[in-house]
């Protein structure tokens, strides 16, 4: 346990010694506030870090991550909704131009949806993963992850302010799938209705 924490502390020391120099120009702008043009809904999975895999700088991405990168449907119930609050912040207040929903292969959250017994004693996971739309025609784990992105896209459009921005051409939604086995990304082509290399 100590080794993993020590790795972080060493990483922080390296970061603090180099960050201000490496990002001097960027930091000058960032102290005034953030103006990211891209928002990502990604998975909590430790293998899929959006800023790392997309080689981004501070200020580039507004990110929210949850189990299985799910966008829930809009809910006007006055309850607490973490992912929806992040969407509202990014889209209504920061006015991002692009929303990328980033799925990935070997997703533990998708697996939990397909094999609910592995989380049957959970307090929250079973309810959360019930949001994942399972494609009965393609029970394969990675195919389900890709199908779930399509469902999240539909859920995005159930948010009135997202639908309005998309229809007005003020924002685009992208569905990307990261394959851990070869570090490739495929993007969904809405015209051809298939995932194609990015």
Applying CB under 5 A, which residues contact Zn ion? 43, 45, 107, 109
39: which strand partners? Answer: 62, 99
Q: Which is nearer to Zn ion, 101 or 171 (CB)?
A: 101
Least distance from C-beta 118 to Zn ion, angstroms? 14
Long-range contacts of 95-98 (CB under 8 A, 24+ apart): 96/36, 96/37, 96/38, 96/39, 96/62, 96/171, 97/37, 97/38, 97/170, 97/171, 97/172, 98/37, 98/38, 98/39, 98/171, 98/172, 98/173, 98/174
CA atoms within 13 A on the CB side of 5: 2
Smaller CB distance to Zn ion: residue 159 or 178?
Answer: 178
Query: Quick one: which H or E segment has residue 120?
Result: none
Q: Using an 8 Å Cβ cutoff, are 102 and 109 in contact?
A: no
Which structure tokens are listed for 56? 């981004």
Comparing CB distances to Zn ion, the nearer of 41 and 61 is 41
CB nearer to Zn ion: pick between 45 and 100: 45
As measured in angstroms, the least distance from the Cβ of 29 to Zn ion is 33
The span from the CA of 49 to the CA of 28, in Å, is: 25
What is the nearest approach in angstroms of Zn ion to the Cβ of residue 23?
Answer: 29
Q: Which is nearer to Zn ion, 43 or 100 (CB)?
A: 43
- Report in angstroms how near the CB of residue 145 gets to Zn ion at its nearest: 7
| C-beta of residue 87 within 8 angstroms of C-beta of residue 74 | no
Report in angstroms how near the CB of residue 140 gets to Zn ion at its nearest. Answer: 15
């Amino acid at each position: 346990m100590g080794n993993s924490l020590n790795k972080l502390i060493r990483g922080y020391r390296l970061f603090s010694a180099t960050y201000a120099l490496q990002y001097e120009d960027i930091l000058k702008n960032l102290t005034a506030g953030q103006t990211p043009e891209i928002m990502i809904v990604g998975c909590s999975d430790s293998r899929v870090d959006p800023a790392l895999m997309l080689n981004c700088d501070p200020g580039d991405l507004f990110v929210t991550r949850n189990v299985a990168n799910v966008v829930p449907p809009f809910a006007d119930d006055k309850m607490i909704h973490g992912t929806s609050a992040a969407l509202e912040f990014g889209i209504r207040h920061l006015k991002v131009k692009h929303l990328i929903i980033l799925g990935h292969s070997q997703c533990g959250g998708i697996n939990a949806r397909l094999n609910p017994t592995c989380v049957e004693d959970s307090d929250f996971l079973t309810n959360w993963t019930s949001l994942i739309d399972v494609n009965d025609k393609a029970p394969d784990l990675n195919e389900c992850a890709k199908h779930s992105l399509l469902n999240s896209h539909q859920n995005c459009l159930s948010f009135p302010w997202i639908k309005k921005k998309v229809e007005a051409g003020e924002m685009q939604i992208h569905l990307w799938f990261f394959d851990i086995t070869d570090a490739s990304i495929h993007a969904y082509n809405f015209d051809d209705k298939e995932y194609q290399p990015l």
